[in-house]
């Protein structure tokens, strides 16, 4: 690939999300206008070394992909470049691997690498930067858990999917006077649950950031019953901690050192059925939230991210991550974004507004019950044991023994 033009590398890493292709297209189109070439590495960081696998990208082979979900380059959240263990712990990459990446960059004449990824993938980019490999980060995640950017693309699309599910559950819940539980993704944060819960008119929203009790969730449902609303919708984030402590996890396919969350919806549905003797159904939305076309917001944001990342590379501003600070797209050190995850504040205006509307977070208003408060504090300070989900069923009703 001998050429005198500037050459930029690009890759997509970690779990996929809607908008990755829009970033790639935005980068390729703007690079073309700034007289630079782009090569795309396949399967995330894996394509950088042994075997090096890449494809030359141009305005022809990236045409028409702005609306396509997934990533034309492929991605993985496993393999040799895992740099996260648990929520905040960083794993050091093998120094030989870093030297191999540098060699690939030199051999292909790549002046800067655009790494599109979430928390774990950007931790890798940060390590590249620390050892002198020229990188620029682009934040991607449906979870919206990256600090230093107001939004990552993919989040709006995931919320749209979850809200659509809520709308559908609403009509059937009302018709049958049932309790519906919707489990959404978000890893250790409740952004998706909170936004979809508000937009989809949930009665109860359960998130990792707010400790909750079974009694308070039941209380809300009973209040609605008394008001003549004999159906309720509950959104629960996959990473919400159970009242007695512990996360619900599933063993299959865990990424190095990280738990794979999932199954809490079934635990909630079963408990509510047992406590209230009411018909309860559960939907685990899962990877539907990650698939399909990006929303218009995510397309526009992702396209701007791609264009801005190319400008940063050509200006030699390495170690920076593109960020959205409404109304502008600008940049921050990658380090600032991966330092700590962004979590929902229980005092945020969104939570306060939801509470004002009567949405329950399964928590009593602080100060209302000191006894309950101390019980909640006690249970939330317990270690986060991992609990396997019960044998699953999508329905818990009187005709079926859920045990
Ligand atoms: O980080 C994105 C995310 O979709 C999380 O919300 C979820 O916990 C996880 O990835 C699922 O990962 P996998 O694709 O490995 O099942």
Any catalytic annotation for residue 143? yes
Question: Ligand 1: distance of its center to the CA of 44 in Å?
Answer: 16
The side-by-side arrangement of strands in the sheet containing 328-333 is 54-57, 36-41, 6-12, 112-117, 135-139, 320-325, 328-333
**Best residue for ligand 1 mutational test, from 187, 208, 247 (most atoms within 8 Å of Cβ):** 187
Instruction: Give the pLDDT of residue 58.
Output: 98
Architecture of domain 157-290: 3-Layer(aba) Sandwich (3.40)
Pick the CATH number of 6-154+294-338 from 1.10.10.10, 3.40.930.10, 3.40.50.450, 3.40.50.300: 3.40.50.450
123 touches ligand 1 (CB under 6 Å):
no
Instruction: Give the pLDDT of residue 259.
Output: 82
Contact 230, 224 (CB under 8 A): yes
Instruction: Give the pLDDT of residue 34.
Output: 97
Instruction: Give the pLDDT of residue 77.
Output: 84
Say which DSSP state 44 is in.
Answer: G
Dihedral angle of Cα 124, 125, 127, 133, to the nearest 10 degrees? 130
Stretches in the chain below the pLDDT threshold 50: 366-384, 399-403
Q: For residue range 297-321, list pLDDT tens digits in order.
A: 999 999 999 999 999 999 999 999 9
The atom number, within ligand 1, closest to the CA of 187 reads 8
Topology alike, domains 6-154+294-338 and 157-290 = yes
- Structural domain spans, the chain: 6-154+294-338, 157-290
Q: For residue range 253-274, list pLDDT tens digits in order.
A: 555 556 899 999 999 999 999 9
Q: Which residues contact 323 (CB under 8 A, 6 or more apart)?
A: 139, 148, 149, 150, 329, 330, 331, 332, 337
290 touches ligand 1 (CB under 6 Å):
yes
Question: Ligand 1: distance of its center to the CA of 213 in Å?
Answer: 26
**Region of 74 on the Ramachandran plot (φ > 0 left; ψ -120 to 50 alpha; else beta):** left
């Amino acid at each position: 690939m001998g050429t005198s033009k500037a050459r930029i590398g690009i890759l997509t890493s970690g779990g996929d999300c809607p908008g990755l292709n829009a970033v790639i297209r935005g980068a390729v189109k703007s690079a073309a206008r700034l007289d630079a070439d782009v090569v795309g590495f396949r399967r995330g960081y894996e394509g950088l070394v042994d075997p090096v696998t890449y494809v030359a990208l141009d305005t022809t082979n990236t045409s028409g992909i702005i609306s396509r979900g997934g990533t034309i380059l492929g991605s993985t959240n496993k393999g040799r470049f895992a740099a996260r263990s648990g929520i905040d712990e960083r794993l050091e990459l093998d120094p030989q691997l870093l030297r191999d990446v540098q060699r690939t960059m030199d051999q292909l004449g790549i002046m800067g690498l655009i790494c599109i990824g979430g928390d774990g993938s950007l931790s890798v980019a940060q390590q590249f930067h620390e050892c002198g490999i020229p990188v620029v980060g682009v934040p991607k995640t449906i979870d919206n858990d990256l600090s230093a950017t107001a939004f990552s693309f993919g989040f709006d699309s995931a919320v749209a999917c979850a809200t659509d599910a809520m709308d559908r559950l609403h009509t059937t819940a009302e018709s049958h006077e049932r309790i519906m539980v919707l489990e959404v993704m978000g890893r250790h944060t409740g952004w998706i649950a909170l936004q979809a819960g508000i937009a989809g008119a949930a009665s109860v929203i359960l998130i990792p950031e707010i400790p909750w009790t079974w009694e308070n969730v039941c209380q809300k449902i009973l209040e609605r019953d008394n008001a003549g609303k004999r159906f309720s919708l509950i959104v629960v984030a996959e990473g919400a901690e159970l009242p007695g402590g512990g996360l619900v996890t599933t063993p299959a396919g865990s990424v190095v050192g990280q738990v794979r969350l999932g199954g809490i919806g079934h635990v909630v549905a079963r408990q509510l059925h047992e406590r209230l003797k009411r018909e309860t159904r559960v939907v685990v939305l899962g990877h539907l939230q990650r698939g399909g076309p990006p929303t218009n917001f995510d397309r526009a944001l992702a396209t701007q991210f791609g264009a801005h990342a190319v400008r940063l590379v050509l200006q030699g501003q390495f170690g920076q991550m593109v960020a959205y600070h409404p109304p502008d797209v600008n940049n921050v050190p990658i380090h600032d974004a991966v330092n700590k995850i962004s979590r929902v504040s229980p005092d945020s205006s969104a939570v306060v507004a939801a509470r004002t509307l009567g949405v329950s977070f399964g928590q009593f208003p602080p100060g209302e019950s000191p006894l309950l408060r101390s019980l909640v504090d006690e249970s939330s300070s317990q270690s986060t044991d991992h609990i396997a989900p019960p044998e699953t069923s999508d329905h818990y009703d009187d005709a079926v023994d859920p045990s």
